[in-house]
Amino acid sequence: MGTEARKPPPQIALKIRRVLGGKTGWNGIAVQFAFAAVLGWIAYEIISNARANLENQHIAAGFGFLGNNAGFDVNQTLISYTGSDTFLRVFVVGLLNTLVVSVVGIVFATLIGFIVALCRLSPNWLVARVGEIYVEVIRNLPLLFQILFWYLAVLAALPNPRQSISLFGIAFVSNRGLVIPRPIGESGFEAFLAVLVFGIVASLALRVYARRALFQRGQMIRIWPYVLGLLFGLPLVTMLISGLPFTFELPQLKGFNFAGGSRIIPEFVALTLALSTYTAAFIAEIVRAGILSVHSGQMEAGSSLGLSRGTTLRLVVVPQAMRVIVPPLTNQYLNLTKNSSLAVAIGYPDLVSVFAGTSLSQTGQAIEIIAMTMGVYLLISLITSAIMSVYGWRVSRSLGA
């Protein structure tokens, strides 16, 4: 009998259409062609204009300038640098300065942020209000305003080096920056360092072992005395055996400035202060929201299981809050790194300041320099977002399991 179902029509054309043009099919393909034509036209205009303009200004395009001598000095360098080094070296110096100020800023911002968040959550009315005032004031003032305030008003109002404020006779604050003792390695330094690294690695291994014992065999191991011994006891013993690992060179006032010790330039101090206090206000709000997002029933459930308040917080509330806190917190860290580019306003030698600022005005290679600068920040944020999507995937997997 001829009642067999008809074969479905071939779907190949449909599939191609779907891949090329999305849901809208041939219309979509037409739109894409028009769009590509417009993009191509814009790209052509940009390239031809840029070529004509560069020719008029007698600027050779390309990255050859990176090998030329920079010929200017940078007042804070982590790696050795002199004026006769190349622009590539300037780029690295600036990048390292950006990373240093970001890392220091992130550490302080996290500390202050968590403290302020705890203040805002405190049952004490006055402390909660103090935290709230801090957050409202800091969040509603521009970051650049705060950087300039610290740099031009507060740090500039400090006394000159001769009348500098002494902190216990070892560190000195003046309008030329902060001078702190410099550690100088002695003979026992290598041994000390090796023991310290060993202690950290061993503590981490111990923690992994203890967790495994807990999860697989249900066996509780108390590890903190061993960790304490590994981290502090062992280095102390090494110090007793092989002598002090390093001594401090104290800064001395000589003439109009300090000799000895290491100097932290005021630009760095102002930038770190402003960045960490500003980002801390945002971190405080994130942490507060994260902790409030954990249902109060969780706390009650923990205490009905017989856990103490501290244990409930540590084992029940904080892990759940961290899931909410970590993504926006990472975002704030990223913002801090990007905001460190405001250093250019006060002359801290970060990437934007020495590379997109000084180097650009010396070479005139606007396209290459700005593309490199933007590329660095773009790379940092893309890597961070990749790590964050892995984190999100792991969290959702652990929730699903």
Partner 1 sequence: MSDIASPSFVRQDLLDERPAPVKTTGFIGLVRTRLFNSPTNVLLTIIGALLLWFTIIPSVRFLVVDAVWTGKDRTACLAENAGFAVGACWPYIQAKLPQLIYGFYPEAERWRVNLTLVLAVVLLLPLLIPRLPSKGLNAGLFFFAFPVVAFFLLHGGGIKGFGLSSTADLLQLFDDSIIGAGQALLSLGKTSAAAPLLWVVGNFIVLVGTAIYWLIFPLTWLRDQLQGTGQSVWVDFAITAAIVSLIAFVLGGGVRTGVRALTSSIATFVAIAIVIELMGLDHGGLPIVTTNLWGGLLVTLVVSVTGIVTSLPIGIALALGRRSTIPLIRIFSIAFIEFWRGVPLITVLFFATYMLPLFLPGNFTVDGLVRALIGIALFTGAYQAENVRGGLAAIPRGQGEAAAALGLSWWKTSSLIVLPQALRHVIPNLVNSFISLFKDTSLVSIVALFDLLGSLRASFSDPKWSSPSTAFTGFAFAGIIYFIFCFGMSRYSLFVEHRLNAHRRN
* Rounded Cα distance, 87 and 361, in Å: 12
Task: Report whether 277 contacts 112 (CB < 8 A).
Answer: yes
Q: With CB under 8 A as the contact rule, which of the stretches 48-56, 103-111, 217-225, 236-244 interacts with partner 1?
A: 48-56
C-beta of 8 vs 123, nearer to partner 1: 123
Q: Which is nearer to partner 1, 60 or 197 (CB)?
A: 60
Closest listed residue to residue 65, CA positions, set 378, 361, 380: 361
Provide φ and ψ at 249, rounded to 5°.
Answer: -95, 115
41 near partner 1 (CB under 8 A): yes
Q: Which of 16, 20, 204, 386 binds partner 1 (CB under 8 A)?
A: 20
Q: Do the Cβ atoms of 317 and 287 come closer than 8 Å?
A: no
44 φ/ψ angles, rounded to the nearest 5 degrees: -60, -45
Residue among 28 and 181 whose Cβ is closer to partner 1 = 28
Nearer to partner 1, 50 or 60 (CB): 50
Angle, in degrees to the nearest 10, between helices 318-339 and 266-293: 150
Residues facing 258 on adjacent strands: 253
Question: Contact between 23 and partner 1 (CB under 8 A)?
Answer: yes
Contact code string over 144-163 relative to partner 1, x by CB under 8 A: xx--xx--xx--xx------
Report residue 373 CA to chain centroid gap: 17
Start-to-end C-alpha separation, the chain: 52
| Interaction between residue 309 and partner 1 (CB under 8 A) | no
Could you say which residues in the range 85-144 bind partner 1, by CB under 8 A?
122-127, 129-130, 136-137, 139-144
Q: Is 374 in the site for partner 1 (CB under 8 A)?
A: yes
* Sheet strands (E) in 235-350: 246-249, 252-254, 257-259, 262-264
The phi and psi torsions of 230 (rounded to 5 degrees) equal -70, -40
**Shortest distance, position 237 Cβ to partner 1, whole Å:** 38
Assess 39 for contact with partner 1 (CB under 8 A): yes
Interface residue with partner 1 among 3, 10, 56, 84 (CB under 8 A) is: 56
Instruction: For residues 319 and 384, give the distance between their C-alpha atoms in angstroms, rounded to a whole number.
Output: 21
What's the token pair of residue 160?
Answer: 């000159």
Tell me which of 107, 237, 241, 367 binds partner 1, using CB under 8 A: 367
Instruction: Tell me: does residue 53 bind partner 1 (CB under 8 A).
Output: yes
CB of 53 to partner 1, least distance (A): 5
b/e burial code for range 121-155 (CB count within 10 A of at least 16 → b): eeeeeeeeeebeebbeebeeeebeebbbebbeeeb
- The smaller minimum CB distance to partner 1, of residues 57 and 398, is found at 57
Beta carbon of residue 105, minimum distance to partner 1 (angstroms, whole number): 14
Nearest distance from C-beta of residue 113 to partner 1, angstroms: 17
Q: Which of 106, 155, 109, 102 is nearest to 269 (CA)?
A: 155
| CA distance readout (Å), 51 to 48, 124, 282 | 5, 65, 44
Stretch that binds partner 1, among 182-190, 321-329, 340-348, 391-399 (CB under 8 A): 340-348
Angle (CA) 40 42 45, round 5°: 110
How many residues bind to partner 1 according to rule CB under 8 A? 64
Single out the residue of 226, 248, 377, 391 in contact with partner 1 (rule: CB under 8 A): 377
Q: Is 14 in the site for partner 1 (CB under 8 A)?
A: no
Contact residues: partner 1, CB under 8 A: 19-24, 28, 31-32, 35-36, 39, 41, 44-46, 48-50, 52-54, 56, 122-127, 129-130, 136-137, 139-145, 148-149, 152-153, 156-157, 338-339, 341-342, 344-345, 352, 356, 360, 366-367, 370, 373-374, 377-378, 381-382
